[in-house]
Amino acid sequence: MRRFEVITGAVGRRRWSSDDRAQIIEETLVPGAVVSQVARRHGLTPQQLFTWRRAARKAAEALPAFVPAVVIAEPAHTEPPAASARRKRHRGPPRRSAAIEIDVSGVKVTIENGASPATIAAVIGALKAGS
């Protein structure tokens, strides 16, 4: 005996929201999940579901990756007086070195030495929200 599905009303392509697609794709990523079973459960073909997975993987690769920022206090340096005297005699412009340089989509953000942890966290948070 074969199963027949009777469709009443307008027939056309089924539209899936991006949230629905993401939920179905997540179901296929569970260890032990079988893509064809997940596809059947949602009325899809396995090929369509594999296409969604491939598109999601490509989209994820295109996004910039963020890593957690860890702020560690620098240990206090105690130098002998002779070393600090030598440093004072050094002539030339004082060195300015960037503590953090971030390049996101062609925009370069530089956070100089001495920035507070709150400032660093705010800059990173703004970059995450903007991307």
Instruction: Give the integer Cα–Cα distance in Å for 19 and 68.
Output: 26
The residue among 12, 18, 16 whose CA lies nearest residue 42 is 16
* pLDDT reported for residue 21: 94
Whether residue 125 is found in the same domain as residue 85: yes
pLDDT score, position 34: 94
Residues 49 and 74 both lie in one domain = no
The tokens describing 71, both together, are 């702020």
Picking from 84, 82, 80, 119, the residue whose alpha carbon sits closest to that of residue 99 is 119
Residue 79 lies in a domain: yes
Instruction: Print pLDDT tens along the chain (131 aa).
Output: 788 777 666 656 778 898 999 999 999 999 999 999 999 999 899 999 999 999 999 988 877 766 667 777 766 666 665 555 555 565 666 655 656 777 777 777 888 777 788 888 888 777 777 66
pLDDT of 86 reads: 56
Q: Is residue 2 part of a domain?
A: no
In this structure, the answer to whether residues 78 and 102 fall within a common structural domain is yes
Residues 37 and 58 in one domain: yes
- Whether residue 22 is found in the same domain as residue 70: no
Q: What pLDDT score does 114 carry?
A: 79
Range of the domain at 125: 65-89+97-131
Q: Are residues 131 and 72 in the same domain?
A: yes
Question: Per the structure, how many domains does the chain have?
Answer: 2
